[in-house]
Structure 1
């Protein structure tokens, strides 16, 4: 697993996410709701603010009794990138235990640190690289503490067709960047 810590790499990741029409509106809406050190709650998110992004969004709720996230909702493009139907399945049911455990740790870290997690993926194809981007937006109910992860995925390729690349991916195929609210708002990209 590669976590990017270099400031230049981290700035690039944010600018890259903001250049995508499916990622930008969700990211901007999430930031507009972040207040007083509190994460936005799922019910605060207004899909009308990012309607263009809906096919790329999945929601995963934390189930304390299972110690895992389960998929509450998966947009059409996200669903098409998996062989198995996502909705109602836990991470342990969608991935092998090592990958599920790694995703769980990353997502819970994003919640604890009140950070957005940017995930960059890159896979070799016979004649090119296949690149994907995902932003992980932690959400938490202010009263109950219930945790939801909103994931917004964008692929430069047909993720459903290349599903085997995801299954056989190695940790080197992914790069991760955590940015907290202060780091995000300090950048001039949100003018």
Structure 2
């Protein structure tokens, strides 16, 4: 495996516009993965990046539910969604309209596995909009199956113009872990 510095450098080349905290978060995931392609959940501690705790979230695919269930959500994440999201499914959180796209992306993240970077303007309440910058990383459960998604969401609250139906920009990029690492 290439060095962690080379992996961070490769990610920087692919997403040069990203907030520096994205790379700090990625470095913590790299440190947890050791020589594996993806980190094991048990080897990653959100406490390894204390300045980012409020932005971190973790979901696990639960076969009996047939969906990803939130296992951990930082304070800023809960604030952005207007409520605590721990224990909720991704379908419940993002809603029926956005769910198929999110589920398809997340299935690829754990299935390939992929690293996903995204930056989007989104409405998370009827009054406010958030600019969200995210990095999503696959992780393996105790049994070795890659079925966990670790993420960071950096939110900035901004008021939309009076036109509530204005188009919003979205950038989503996915990279196979094997191409970065």
Contact 1:107 1:138 in 2 (8 A): no
Distance verdict in 2 for CA 1:12–1:144, change over 3 Å = closer
Structure 1 runs of 4+ aligned residues shifted over 6 Å read 167-170
CA–CA separation in structure 1 for the residues paired with 2:33 and 2:166: 33
Aligned to 2:8: none
Aligned to 1:3: none
Question: Could you list the runs of 5+ residues in structure 1 that have no partner in the other structure?
Answer: 1-9, 186-191
SS of 1:73's partner is strand
Aligned to 1:177: 173
Count matched residues. 164
Shift of 1:104: 1.2
SS of 1:158's partner is strand
Higher relative contact order (CA 8 A, sep 6+): 1
SS of 1:81's partner is helix
Aligned to 1:121: 120
Q: Does 44-53 or 64-73 show the bigger shift?
A: 44-53
Aligned to 1:38: 37
Query: Normalization by structure 2: what TM-score?
Result: 0.75
RMSD (Å) for aligned C-alpha atoms: 3.1
Aligned to 1:61: 60
Query: Normalization by structure 1: what TM-score?
Result: 0.72
Distance verdict in 2 for CA 1:138–1:145, change over 3 Å = same
Aligned to 1:135: 135
Contact 1:84 1:94 in 2 (8 A): no
Question: Could you list the runs of 5+ residues in structure 2 that have no partner in the other structure?
Answer: 1-10, 124-128
Distance verdict in 2 for CA 1:138–1:26, change over 3 Å = same
SS of 1:66's partner is coil
Aligned to 1:51: 50
Contact 2:37 2:177 in 1 (8 A): no
Alignment of 1:37-116 (within 5 A): 38-116=37-115
Contact 2:113 2:177 in 1 (8 A): yes
CA–CA separation in structure 2 for the residues paired with 1:168 and 1:63: 35
State the Cα deviation string for residues 41-64 of structure 1 (Å, max 9, x = none). 111103332111110011111110
Distance verdict in 2 for CA 1:102–1:123, change over 3 Å = closer
Contact 1:54 1:75 in 2 (8 A): yes
Contact 2:70 2:88 in 1 (8 A): yes
